[in-house]
Chain A
Amino acid sequence: MASFQHSVSLDAHKCIGCTSCLRQCPTEAIRIRDGRAVINSSLCIDCGRCVRVCKHKAKRAVFDRISEIDPKYKWRIALPAPALYGQFEGLSEVGDLLQALLDLGFDDVYEVARSAEIISECTRRYMRKPDILKPVISSACPAIVRLIRLRFPELCDHVLPILPPVEYASRAAKQEALQQHPELKPEEICTVFISPCPAKTSYAKNGLSQTKSTIDYVVSMTDVYRRLSGKFGKGKNSAMKSKAGIAGVKWATSGGEAEGLYSDRYLAADDMDNAIQVLDAIENGKLPALEFVELNACPGGCVGGAATVENPYIAKTRLLSFKHKLPNYRNYLKVENKEPDFIPDDALVDNPLLDYVPPERLSDDRLEAMRMMAEIEEIYELLPQIDCGSCGAPTCRTFAEDVVKGECRMEDCVVLLKKKLQEGQL
């Protein structure tokens, strides 16, 4: 995993070391060193939370720009995430938004919501399989999937081995383009995902375990918003029509995916802290009766992604207002196979799905790791245990770990230093 490519990075010139992001990071990946934030890349899950809290715009989510798309691509297909539909005031028809994307210069649009409906159907089929581990955990949010790999090794086998909708959409869009335009060569077609978050960018760069992504570019929803805002609301009613149903569109909000399973025994949790609590509970065997667990790293689901513009709850209300204009479902799996739990290969991720990555490990030698742990405990007892963050670590506990790992020194604890000064020990 050394080569994992991140999409959240730091602009060192803008960072003032204010520590706001320090304690917000769910994996304790951030430290302040020499007055600036640094991210430990083996721990970062690209959840984008630090991007959201940094008032100084020092934490950035890295996206491609529409203007950077290579001219060798003759056919550029936009893949709008359903969260995009909730961003615009005055947008009354999804078709108007799709038309606006074409007007931006895309050659075609393939709605990710269409694929979400297919993935729901595949998931329903998967849930019928006899020997699967329950609860099944959604694989749609890449930040959650990465968190599970780093921190919940025993839950790796619970993760749904089916492609996230955006990947299915990218593949389906390319296939459709080749069929409709036989003059095109595969290498002339590109897919451009309009993403609510940096986690999806990391997914496109790194794939999911063994499965490589076919998405060529990931642009930020904010970027697209900037180009399109104010264009709607004048009753345009363009010729373009949405090809998705409301069931697919709802995937943008927490619970939307789970709802598509037609079962009451599901749980949907959003926001990182809630998601972590739920994962701990599953690992402790506390939720045995559940069939399915949908977890989203962002508040409200993808409508709360770090690259969205609108307040998640306003966006959600707008999305739901489309339910009067869209049918429930519009996209169905075409399979010859009559088995109720059959899933076509092209919807499945390659095995093994998830391998555990243990970046928290103090040492590969267990005895050495235990010795270090004993030292951490000793140092922790000496610390003030007030988690003030002045040392640059999010908690006194992580500071003790950093001291033992040799990344900082006891003297970096200012509270302890002050006490020593007052007591005349220095």
Chain B
Amino acid sequence: MSALTFHYDVDGQDFSSAGEASVAVKKKLRQMGFPPDVIRRCSIAMYEGEINMVIHANGGTADVQVEPDKITIILEDHGPGIPDVELAMKEGYSTSTEEIRTMGFGAGMGLPNMKRYTESLEIETEVGVGTKLTMVVKV
């Protein structure tokens, strides 16, 4: 069976809708009967990704490929790119503005959280061009 793919556009202008794609994916995974912990890990990883795209990259796209034994989440944006991936992977590191942080976003949990909740996290990034994250959650 080929993978089932869901595509979402993440609006970079709209903070209040950030997280909508992760809520939609969560529901679909429940409908397909994936175990609760798999659903939660996917939704956290995806939520962090969405928020990151809204804060840093003026939006982007999210594609979720569902297979019986694994779920692959691909997040792509045309934002500024990540200059130092190693630094960005450190917990607590954040480039978001104070204003965004007071809204409760961008506490620097993004990438580390995505890594923690997924089996693999692949980062392709180029400064000034954009970032592509590929995450896999095994069932």
Contact A356 B36, CB 8 Å, known A283-B43, A362-B31: yes
Contact A367 B68 (CB under 8 A): yes
Contact A362 B22 (CB under 8 A): no
B1-52 residues with Cβ-Cβ distance < 8 A to A are 1, 4, 6, 19, 22-23, 26-28, 30-34, 36-37, 39-40, 43-44, 47
Closest to B107 in A: A288
| Interface: B66 (CB within 8 A) | yes
Contact B4 A377 (CB under 8 A): yes
A273-318 residues with Cβ-Cβ distance < 8 A to B are 280-281, 283-286
Contact B31 A373 (CB under 8 A): yes
Contact A284 B47 (CB under 8 A): yes
Task: State the Cβ distance, B91 to closest chain A Cβ, in Å.
Answer: 13
Contact A370 B43 (CB under 8 A): no
A366-406 residues with Cβ-Cβ distance < 8 A to B are 366-367, 369-371, 373-374, 377, 401
B55-112 residues with Cβ-Cβ distance < 8 A to A are 66, 68, 104
| Interface: B134 (CB within 8 A) | no
Contact B30 A151 (CB under 8 A): yes
Q: Which residues of the partner chain B approach A281 to less than 8 Å between Cβ atoms?
A: 19
Which residues of B line the A interface, CB within 8 A?
1, 4, 6, 19, 22-23, 26-28, 30-34, 36-37, 39-40, 43-44, 47, 66, 68, 104, 113
Q: Which residues of the partner chain A approach B31 to less than 8 Å between Cβ atoms?
A: 360-362, 369, 373, 401
Measured between alpha carbons, how far is A356 from B35 in the docked complex, in Å?
11
Measured between alpha carbons, how far is A366 from B35 in the docked complex, in Å?
10
Measured between alpha carbons, how far is A283 from B1 in the docked complex, in Å?
30
A interface residues, tally (CB under 8 Å): 25
Q: Which residues of the partner chain A approach B4 to less than 8 Å between Cβ atoms?
A: 370, 373-374, 377
Interface majority SS on B: helix, strand, loop or mixed? helix
Task: State the Cβ distance, B63 to closest chain A Cβ, in Å.
Answer: 13
Closest to B36 in A: A153
Measured between alpha carbons, how far is A360 from B66 in the docked complex, in Å?
18
Q: Which residues of the partner chain A approach B113 to less than 8 Å between Cβ atoms?
A: 285
Contacts A/B (CB < 8 Å), 23 sampled: A151-B30, A153-B36, A280-B23, A283-B26, A284-B44, A285-B44, A285-B113, A286-B47, A358-B33, A360-B27, A360-B30, A360-B31, A361-B33, A363-B33, A366-B68, A367-B1, A367-B68, A369-B32, A370-B32, A373-B28, A373-B66, A377-B4, A377-B6
Contact B68 A370 (CB under 8 A): yes
Q: Which residues of the partner chain A approach B43 to less than 8 Å between Cβ atoms?
A: 283-284
| Interface: A154 (CB within 8 A) | yes
Q: Which residues of the partner chain A approach B30 to less than 8 Å between Cβ atoms?
A: 151, 153, 358, 360-361
Interface centre among A151, A284, A370 (most CB of B within 10 A): A284
Contact A362 B33 (CB under 8 A): yes
Contact A280 B19, CB 8 Å, known A286-B104, A370-B4, A370-B68: yes
Contact A362 B32, CB 8 Å, known A286-B104, A373-B4: yes
Q: Which residues of the partner chain B approach A284 to less than 8 Å between Cβ atoms?
A: 19, 22, 43-44, 47
Contact A154 B39 (CB under 8 A): yes
Task: State the Cβ distance, B31 to closest chain A Cβ, in Å.
Answer: 5
| Interface: A364 (CB within 8 A) | yes
Measured between alpha carbons, how far is A154 from B34 in the docked complex, in Å?
12
Measured between alpha carbons, how far is A281 from B36 in the docked complex, in Å?
16
Contact A370 B66 (CB under 8 A): yes
| A283-B40, A284-B43 known, 6 other contacts, Cβ within 8 Å | A153-B36, A284-B47, A285-B113, A363-B33, A367-B1, A370-B66
Contact A369 B23, CB 8 Å, known A283-B40, A284-B43, A286-B47: no
Closest to B2 in A: A374
